[in-house]
Amino acid sequence: MKSTLILFLLGAACASAEIRLGIIGTDTSHVIAFTKILNDPTSPDYVPGARVVAAYKGGSPDVESSYTRVDKFAEELKTKWKVEFFSDIPAMCRKVDGVLLESVDARSHLEQVKPVIAAHKPVYIDKPLASTLVKSRGWRRRRACRGSAHPICDLPTSRPASSFPILQEP
């Protein structure tokens, strides 16, 4: 997980001293793990240079692993990590330099990433990229049409770090 995050941060490098990251989807333990790695300098896995500062809860009412956990992880982000929550993704994007799309339900990834792409923010999409191959291809075509130069990453955990693809249209 740490190598995944390092790859994303390299792709999201910007002029500011600290990269401000937003999270979409607080229905997975990954949001706590990433936030700890980035926000806790006492952690042995700490990665300096970025902080999780904002979030959009998301969640899927028809996916048990989503609706039973979304509020629990959101509460920890608010109270322990002082992450600011937003009621919509475009508002969150105005406060961050990059986005970690973490929603458990891949069916929502395409709709959730559209405002991030429109805001020209680099984005890491946690597995899976989309719920179908057709949606994944449609998502990439939309990004290419917008002319975004920012890397978009889908870093599957089933492959070694050296083979992580950075999905960037020419």
CATH topology of domain 2-167: Rossmann fold (3.40.50)
DSSP helix/strand/coil, 162? helix
Compute the distance between CA of residue 164 and CA of residue 170 in angstroms, rounded to an integer: 18
Buried b (16+ CB within 10 A) or exposed e, 49-70: ebbbbbbbbbbbeebeebeebb
pLDDT tops 50 at residue 156: no
pLDDT tops 60 at residue 160: no
Q: What DSSP letter does each residue of 73-85 carry, written as one string?
A: HHHHHHHTT-PEE
pLDDT tops 70 at residue 165: no
Confidence of residue 159 (pLDDT cuts 50, 70, 90): very low
pLDDT score at 137: 61
Please say whether the beta carbons of 37 and 46 come within 8 A. yes
- Helices in the chain by DSSP H: which ranges? 2-11, 30-39, 64-67, 70-79, 89-93, 109-118, 133-146
The pLDDT of 69-94, averaged and rounded, is: 95
Query: pLDDT tens-digit profile of 7-60?
Result: 555 555 544 569 999 999 999 889 999 999 999 999 999 999 999 999 999 887
pLDDT score at 138: 60
pLDDT score at 83: 98
Confidence of residue 151 (pLDDT cuts 50, 70, 90): very low
pLDDT score at 167: 35
Q: Using alpha carbons only, give the angle 137, 133, 57 rounded to the nearest 5 degrees.
A: 85
pLDDT score at 52: 97
* C-alpha dist (Å) from residue 47 to 8, 41, 88, 104, 157: 11, 8, 28, 24, 19
- Helices in 21-132 by DSSP H: which ranges? 30-39, 64-67, 70-79, 89-93, 109-118
Query: pLDDT tens-digit profile of 89-130?
Result: 999 999 999 999 998 887 787 788 889 989 999 988 886 655
